[in-house]
Amino acid sequence: MNNDSTKLTVDAVVFGYRAPKEIIVLLIQRKFEPFKGTWALPGGFVLNGESLEDAVYRELQEETGVELSYLEQLYTFGKPDRDPRGHVVSVAYFGLIKPDNLDLVASTDATDAHWFSIKELPKLAFDHQDILNRAINRLRAKVGYEPIGFELLDSKFLFGELENLYMSLLDRTIDRRNFRKKILALGILDELDEKVSQGPGRPAKLFQFNEKRYFELKEQGIFFEI
């Protein structure tokens, strides 16, 4: 039973949101062969005895310094020829980050890390474009039946931001009145007393996602759906 030369990596697809209409993804430029100089998803080898999630957090920390607000497993990619170095199986993760945390620190590996709009992507190393495509599909699908959109906004946000985010994610226009009715009817947003005004126009109220309330409703079998 020859298993010793199959290696295990993790890769992370981390999405962010840049107002008003851009969904962005975190990429690093590879410093070493193979694919030296090519853009790729952050990731790397899993250490023996290390959990998969720990490996993701460690690699992200090492390569980009970002702090996630959400992480879940995406899919495992295991085609024997996906890495020219040999049989490397990669467990891909799917992460979200708040606009607060978009700054990238100089990485310990001195790899270059940048945010790219998912509509203007460079050529990617390995099968990372496949991984990214799967992640985008997951993001678009999931945003419709779980309240993960809030993980892409600061904890206090304007309704208009939520609206723009959903339009960017789903890549279509949304009726403002119907959207507001639907979301507020779910009862998972707290309306704060604070208002912000930014330039001309009527100042807007701040809202906050009430996670506790969401879980209560979920227990009762009342589901989030857009």
For binding to DNA (CB under 7 A), which residues are involved?
158-160, 175-178, 180-182, 195, 197, 199-205, 225
Q: For a second copy, give the closer residue by CB, 73 or 137.
A: 73
Inter-residue long-range contacts of 139-143, CB under 8 Å, 24+ positions, other chains counted: 139/15, 139/23, 139/94, 139/169, 140/169, 140/170, 143/169, 143/170, 143/226
Stretch near a second copy under the rule CB under 8 A, chosen from 41-49, 102-110, 171-179, 182-190:
41-49
Q: How far is the CB of 161 from DNA (least distance, A)?
A: 8
Structure tokens at 87: 């049989």
Q: For DNA, give the closer residue by CB, 94 or 209.
A: 209
Q: Which of 32, 49, 212, 219 binds a second copy (CB under 8 A)?
A: 49
H helix count then E strand count, the chain: 5, 10
Q: Phi-psi bin for 71: left (phi > 0), alpha (psi -120 to 50), beta?
A: beta
Structure tokens at 6: 């199959």
Q: For a second copy, give the closer residue by CB, 9 or 164.
A: 9
Q: By CB under 8 A, is residue 3 in contact with a second copy?
A: yes
Q: Which of 31, 37, 51, 140 binds a second copy (CB under 8 A)?
A: 51
